[in-house]
Amino acid sequence: MFMVAPNTAVSRLEALGRQASGFVYCVSLYGITGDARGPVEHLGAYLETVKKYVSVPLAVGFGIDGPEKAADAAGHADGVVVGSALVKIIEKHGADTRRLKQETGNFLKGLRDAIDQSAAACGRS
């Protein structure tokens, strides 16, 4: 798996396009995973640039911590990666397995619903 970021050089994108298989992980922001700022403002333009050089599916991650950000990412990419937001739920409710299951289920359902709505709006199902 290869990763790209908003500041990845075109020469690197060209090289990745020749070698990539499976999917390319597109880091959505300048920062670290779990950053609450969410995807870069021009996520669509960034991913369109990547698509010019890479033909495999694109998955977006970093800063995706709720339904709105997941829907935005899903509107531009083939996949959405959520990690740190789930870790925070586990940290908060890990000792109470019943509550943990309920909270993660609610969180994931909210993401899924938002992603499905975004996909439908874009003509993808």
Tens of pLDDT, residue by residue over 37-46, are 555 578 899 9
pLDDT in tens, 93-120: 988 999 999 999 999 999 999 999 988 8
Which CATH architecture is the domain 2-121 placed in? Alpha-Beta Barrel (3.20)
Phi, psi dihedral angles at 79 (to 5 degrees): -150, 160
Residue with the two structure tokens 């993401």: 111
103 touches 89 (CB < 8 A): yes
122 Cβ neighbours under 8 A, 6+ residues apart = 75
| pTM score | 0.84
In the numeric block, which tokens belong to residue 70? 């997941």
Ranges of each domain in the chain: 2-121
